[in-house]
Structure 1
Amino acid sequence: MNRAMNVVGATAAAVAAAVVAALVAAPTAQAAPGTRTLYAAPGGHGTTCTAARPCSVDGARDQARNVTGRDTRILLEGGTYRLDAPLRLGVDDSGTDGRTVTWTAAPGARPVLSGGRDITGWTRNTDGTWTAEVPTGVTPRQLFIDGTRATRARGEACAATVCDATKAGMTGAEATGIADWQRPTDAEAVIRVRWRNYHCRIAGVGGDLLTFAQPCWTNSASGTNRTGPAWDTTAVDSTRYSGVAFFENAPELLDQPGEFVWNSEARTVTYLPRKGEDMRRAQAVTPHTEQLLVIDGAHDVTVSGIGFAYAAYRGPDTDEGYAGMQAGLTLTGATGPVDHAGRFYTKPSAAVTVRGGRHVSIEYARFGHLGGAGATLEAGTKDSSLTRSTFTDLSSGAVYVGDTEPMPSAALAGERNTIAYNTISRSGVEYTDSVGIWAGYEAGLSIDHNTIDHLPYSGISVGWGWNQPEAQQSVLRDNKVTGNRITNVMEVAQQQHDGGAIYTQGAQPGTVLSGNYINRSAFGNTERDGNGIYLDEQSSHITVEKNVITRLGYKWVSNWADYGIQNTARENWTDTAAPALAGTGSVMTDNHTGLDRLPAEALAVAARAGAHGGPVEQLRTDLARTGAATQSSTEGTAGASLALDADTNTDTRTLSEAGAWWQVDLGGTKRIRQIEIWNNSSSTTVDFDVITDDGTVHVRGKALRPTVLDLDSRTRTVRIVVPGTGRVALSQVLIHP
């Protein structure tokens, strides 16, 4: 365990362990007296759905419709239910006259609804790869070997100087070697621009020019007039575009264990095993069925203790591709209405979809190995909940709540829904612009005590519309984001920017963000836009209170827009500082900023946060803040001490000169274990030396936010020097004993 990690409270840890044990063996819903119990099993064909003659899940549903006047319980025996189509529950499958319908695991059972298809008959090739034929109708976009996700064979990044994107396509076919590939039209370009993510299939190669499937490429480029405000600046043909993150799915790229490639012409998949994998005995599964459970218009239904695995997401495999807009929503269709508020974007396919549900409860569910999202509650779902469930290894986001229409009819308005005590880890594996929990235009939504960890982009996102005229009046109100534990989000390696652990849009009277523990959001970034709580665009009338927010790439709270009004940030704890909130009537009061140790009250808040509570990474004492800073020269009015003020938004820089340096004198010889060097907000220190009294460490490339150096030194001074001619530009230097 990292020596900076402290577990706060043995009692909290014991409670957490008990809750985890309960999740592993989810309780079976107890039947009320007089309840009619029906039974389902994998391969069941019975018509009476008894324990001796269980039905299929569809058969149990049909039999349940004949039950009147009492509660109905459908018990699913353990095992895998392989579905060619989703289990659909409609109005006729609701509880009536105060009665309920419950779908639940049989005692001790772990049923799983699966959309997967096994791939068998592997033969070994002379180069160490294995190849298998794929059943008709199956397209393996994802592949799981013994439950572990394989990676579509991918290459290196291609800079914009080589892979220059325009509205017509992209150069670089010759320089990348794509012009000589066997089947370039099976391959895709994966591109990341700021918060957006694109996956478009190559349609053709002509000389050095690559063209891409339509409408994917057109929807990813500028000029559609169907995207958010000024979003053409983040299109594939914009100045923000820096190149292709990687090309994928070509046999020429299959060179790392754990990679696979799909050949659409031969209908084969070829895989390079990891160490210890034997394809003669391994189970290879690919997602095929797109949805597993659809609850449409039903009410008074509970789904408990059921797993959902290997659901597919078909859209990215078509010519639509994946033209990411924000948070996992995409632009689809060759044409569409002019719109700048995101009203007509498309949510990803989810394993479970609830449409227009009333009093629908999903609990103790397990979502894993999915090609798309976990669960969606939409189209006017009200008074419903998704609780105490786990989401692990999803290609897209975990939970989507609500829709993108700011003023829906009463029937289509999402109201009083709850997403609570869930654990989300490693979602957004493939579509890295997706978020853990997304909510559109919701009222009275509670997102409470969820644990969210290791995500490529934002953790929780509530609201929509970007201050566009059609979105300025909406149903958003009275939402609560409370007690969540959000760690290791906006992961630097995924190169998604301009987000936060908690992200909001739109005027939301009565909305409160409280008691959340946020740690390591965009920590180690190179850009200044990885926030803790991000009140973006028109975010207004929101209260941010009693949150613990540490180790961020940028601001602990960001309210940059002057039209985001009357927000309040009070009584929060953080290790950095931030500019005052923008917008008329926005205030910051009684916040504890620039901390280098969390006080007991903050530790208690953080320890309680999340589905099970958990450990808190205590801050480390900063020796530098009491030191004396000097530098070789000063550009403008930026003084050397601005790198010691615990504020990563204030900067110091020297002139560009030979041997430029910045130094802090600690006032005496101290033992130091770690140094954090934070880059300047506009000018980054590059290729520099960190010099202590007993040694020098050279850092190649740009200083990050932050660059962290672990060492064991006894020194009075720490000096940062740019050899040759250059500039030292810093926002913060922290020195830990």
Structure 2
Amino acid sequence: MRKSLRVVTTGIAAVAAAATVALAPLPAAQAAPAPKVLRAAPHGSGTDCTVGHPCSVEGARDAARRVTGDRAVRVELADGTYALTRPLKLGPDDSGVTWAAAPGAEPVLSGGRAVTGWTANADGTWTAKAPEGVTPRQLFVDGRRAVRARGASCAAAVCDATKTGMTGAGKTGIAQWARPTDAEAVISVRWRNYHCRIASVTGDVMTFAQPCWTNSASGTNRTGPAWDSTTVDSTRYAKVAFFENAPELLDQPGEFVWNSTARTVTYLPRKGEDPRRFRAVTPVTENLLVVDGARDVRVTGLRFAYAAYRQPSTDEGYAGMQAGLTLTGATGPVDHAGRYYTKPAAALTVRGGRHVVVDRTEFTHLGGAGAVFEQGTQDSTLTRSRFTDLSSGAAYIGDTEPLPAAELVGARNTVSYNTVRDTGVEYTDAVGIWAGYEAGTVIDHNTLQDLPYSAISVGWGWNQPEAQKSVLRDNRITNNRITDVMRVEHEQHDGGAIYTQGAQPGTVVSGNYINRSAYGNTERDGNGIYLDEQSSHIAVTGNVITRIGYKWVSNWADYGIDNHATGNWVDTDAPALAGTGSTMSDNHTGLDRLPAEAVAVAERAGAQGRGRVEQLRPDLARTGTATQSSTDGAATAARVVDGDTSTDSRTLAEAGAWWQVDLGTARHVGQVEIWNDAAMTTGAFDVQFAEDAAFTDATTVHVDGKALRPTVIDTDTQARYVRVRLTGTGRVGLSQVLVHP
């Protein structure tokens, strides 16, 4: 470590010293010495670390430790792939060193191993031996992620899950599979995600690897409050999303399967792929770079790729609790605040770091997460970096202990100007950017899009006492661009584009642009800004929030207090905030066009500077007259055109039930949005367009199944009347119908 001398004086001596310094003439300015530059290369060796004789990355680290005095050290990595069989570890002795790409270079720290020697099979698949000691969980072909062979979903009526296992092996054909114990069940229940390997098949009954299944089922007393209602054996369990990793399921191009007995990988190539020429890589090494207890380390211009996350392939499996954290171990302390959950393995981990800078770095093709700052990391930054194609989340900042020892408090860390896209690919409960019990964290000007669950999550603890008084405070979630998140095809519920937990005084959520969160959902479930559980003392100001599947802001719990939503621009309304002292004021609600001021806020959000804003479309129904064939309860048909997706109206259950709006005069109709009500009652219906009240020569579009939030129908017609008419059984139940010109 490069050390500098610091003299500390106290009392009268300190005053005298200060006076002396003030009276002494200023010394001439001296330029800092140029940094010592050490060179590394993919196949470097030795200890010279010069241009002609570069070192390995570990050799460069060791050489940097030998540099004495106050001279800065810079390790420059040449172009190419650095195949790491173990993490590069930096400790206190590596403080003050910059790790950077050499000018013009694109160095890649890789944890991957090549899968070679492919041979053709008669059915069009190709097979190769896995590298020794490797259990492939992911496979990337020419940089494109392959999919573990998977089947269709299996409803609870067939695959009935219990605390000890599951039925359905016979009816699904699993009992006849050649190697059912290589396969996994993948299950989503509300916000939780589970991946457990089949351990045995006896008749129609399957058991699963332990402790994965026990930790996924009820009764552990080690999970969050009332979470037995979202376990695999709960009443909310509806199906196995799919079973995966069986040769009997290998039927789609781009799928692969791992054979643990033969230790082979079998792959069905996509069109244009030639296994004799392509490059196939599987992640093997976890934690490519670990910074443990170091200060003033800078990492810039590097790329992290093909890092592994081994836990899900073990008997631990993946018993997801929330946000990509899992319950592990066969036993553990009773806890309802999530203190003892396990974060996913990450390509880059910083533990107890001070003033660590990760800048202009890329994380891609990972089997786990991108970066983790934990165990008391402070005053550190993750900036201007890109995260794409990750099995888990992009960044995890902090821990789940509400009152840690002073040296373990996470504080004043910044995550800014990053781009996060297509993360949570395998573990769909993972969030884009997560922060636990943190103080003074800044999450600013990031762009997050195309994510399966929440984009940004800050805080922890639910309604437990631990969340009332913790180190959480003064966090800032500002100027982020969040689009197309909580994507409904992944069936992750009860989240939001921005999600918070716990009392965190001084926390601000402002200047964010949120567009399309849980858009197209089947129920009221996805939020814009979700102040969940005990979220308290949070200001939500000046955000632009549009096209949300449920509420633009949600603060449902009466023990979440003193939250204030002010000056936001939104295209719907929301109920008043719950909790003592919470207020909503001066918000611009029910908009069908964004004003210039809102557009300017939205354009400034995100990592890329001026960004595109999806403008709202005028709503002709807003000024129309709504009627319906009958009314169930006190609700009126006008609730469907009030610009508020939280209010409903429904008809009685009757044949041919309908709701309609009279636009007042014939207008051009280019699009209609049908928003289902809370109970999802509207299914199998016609949308009719006519110029007269008798619906003579009406144009009709039929919709099978249940209406979504929303069902969007593009058309090109003239109409004065727009009607939603039931063709099946039941009733028409709607929360909103928008008619766009």
- TM-score w.r.t. length of structure 2: 0.94
Q: Does 2:714 align with 1:710?
A: yes
Shift of 1:168: 1.1
Contact 2:687 2:723 in 1 (8 A): yes
How far apart in 2 are the matches of 1:406 and 1:395? 27
How far apart in 1 are the matches of 2:32 and 2:627? 75
Alignment of 1:611-690 (within 5 A): 611-613=607-609, 614-690=611-687
Equivalent in 489, 497, 502 of residue 498 of structure 2: 502
Q: Does 2:435 align with 1:439?
A: yes
Alignment of 1:274-673 (within 5 A): 274-613=270-609, 614-673=611-670
Shift of 1:725: 3.7
Amino acid corresponding to residue 731 of structure 2 in structure 1: R
How far apart in 2 are the matches of 1:436 and 1:597? 29
- 3-state SS of paired residue (1:358): coil
Deviations 1:267-321, CA, capped at 9 Å, x for gaps? 0000000000000000000000011000000001100000000000000000000
How far apart in 2 are the matches of 1:106 and 1:658? 73
By relative contact order (CA 8 Å, sep 6+), the higher-ranking structure is: 1
Deviations 1:685-725, CA, capped at 9 Å, x for gaps? 01111111241111011100100011111111011111254
Tell me which residue corresponds to 1:131.
127
Amino acid corresponding to residue 669 of structure 1 in structure 2: A
Tell me which residue corresponds to 1:179.
175
Amino acid corresponding to residue 659 of structure 2 in structure 1: W
Equivalent in 250, 257, 261 of residue 254 of structure 1: 250
Could you list the structure 1 runs, at least 4 aligned residues long, displaced by more than 4 angstroms after superposition: none
Alignment of 1:113-262 (within 5 A): 113-262=109-258
Tell me which residue corresponds to 2:55.
55
Shift of 1:33: 3.8
How far apart in 1 are the matches of 2:679 and 2:644? 15
Shift of 1:590: 0.5
How far apart in 1 are the matches of 2:510 and 2:67? 44
Amino acid corresponding to residue 649 of structure 1 in structure 2: S
Contact 2:685 2:728 in 1 (8 A): no
How far apart in 1 are the matches of 2:321 and 2:558? 24
Tell me which residue corresponds to 1:39.
39
How far apart in 1 are the matches of 2:488 and 2:64? 50
Deviations 1:497-550, CA, capped at 9 Å, x for gaps? 000000000001000000000000000001211000000000000000000000
- 3-state SS of paired residue (1:667): strand
How far apart in 1 are the matches of 2:536 and 2:116? 55
CA change 1:714–1:543 in 2 (3 A) is same
Tell me which residue corresponds to 1:11.
none
Tell me which residue corresponds to 2:11.
none
Deviates more, 1:452-461 or 1:42-51: 42-51
Contact 1:32 1:71 in 2 (8 A): no
- 3-state SS of paired residue (1:493): helix
Amino acid corresponding to residue 644 of structure 2 in structure 1: D
How far apart in 2 are the matches of 1:726 and 1:244? 28
The CA RMSD over aligned residues, in Å, is 0.8
Q: Does 2:95 align with 1:94?
A: yes
How far apart in 2 are the matches of 1:271 and 1:485? 37
- The number of residue pairs the alignment matches comes to 702
Tell me which residue corresponds to 2:85.
84
Contact 2:683 2:707 in 1 (8 A): yes
- 3-state SS of paired residue (1:655): coil
Contact 2:523 2:679 in 1 (8 A): no
CA change 1:296–1:195 in 2 (3 A) is same
Deviates more, 1:676-685 or 1:240-249: 676-685
How far apart in 1 are the matches of 2:313 and 2:85? 19
Deviations 1:109-131, CA, capped at 9 Å, x for gaps? 00010000000000000110000
* Gap regions ≥5 residues in structure 2: 1-30, 691-697
Amino acid corresponding to residue 631 of structure 1 in structure 2: Q
Contact 1:309 1:367 in 2 (8 A): yes
Amino acid corresponding to residue 85 of structure 2 in structure 1: D
Contact 2:352 2:376 in 1 (8 A): yes
Tell me which residue corresponds to 2:68.
68
- 3-state SS of paired residue (2:344): coil
Contact 1:580 1:588 in 2 (8 A): yes
Deviates more, 1:42-51 or 1:336-345: 42-51
Shift of 1:470: 2.9
How far apart in 2 are the matches of 1:32 and 1:42? 31
Tell me which residue corresponds to 2:701.
697
Shift of 1:471: 2.9
How far apart in 2 are the matches of 1:646 and 1:338? 46
CA change 1:32–1:397 in 2 (3 A) is farther
Amino acid corresponding to residue 720 of structure 2 in structure 1: R
How far apart in 2 are the matches of 1:46 and 1:390? 33
CA change 1:174–1:537 in 2 (3 A) is same
Identity %: 75
How far apart in 2 are the matches of 1:198 and 1:668? 53
CA change 1:32–1:685 in 2 (3 A) is farther
Amino acid corresponding to residue 145 of structure 1 in structure 2: V
- 3-state SS of paired residue (1:299): coil
Shift of 1:726: 2.0
How far apart in 2 are the matches of 1:392 and 1:555? 28
How far apart in 2 are the matches of 1:421 and 1:560? 31
- 3-state SS of paired residue (1:154): coil
Contact 1:500 1:521 in 2 (8 A): yes
Deviations 1:554-585, CA, capped at 9 Å, x for gaps? 00000000011010100000001000000000
How far apart in 2 are the matches of 1:32 and 1:548? 46
How far apart in 2 are the matches of 1:143 and 1:654? 52
How far apart in 2 are the matches of 1:44 and 1:324? 41
Contact 2:684 2:728 in 1 (8 A): no
- 3-state SS of paired residue (1:684): coil
Deviations 1:637-692, CA, capped at 9 Å, x for gaps? 01000000111000000010111110100001010111000000124201111111
Shift of 1:244: 0.2
Deviations 1:608-654, CA, capped at 9 Å, x for gaps? 00001310000000000100000010011010000001110000000
Tell me which residue corresponds to 1:736.
740
Tell me which residue corresponds to 1:9.
none
Contact 2:416 2:443 in 1 (8 A): yes
- 3-state SS of paired residue (2:108): strand
Amino acid corresponding to residue 80 of structure 2 in structure 1: G
Contact 2:111 2:283 in 1 (8 A): yes
How far apart in 1 are the matches of 2:466 and 2:397? 20
Contact 1:660 1:725 in 2 (8 A): no
How far apart in 2 are the matches of 1:84 and 1:276? 32
Larger-gyration structure (1/2): 2
- TM-score w.r.t. length of structure 1: 0.95
How far apart in 1 are the matches of 2:251 and 2:32? 58
- 3-state SS of paired residue (1:104): strand
- 3-state SS of paired residue (1:616): coil
Deviates more, 1:467-476 or 1:531-540: 467-476
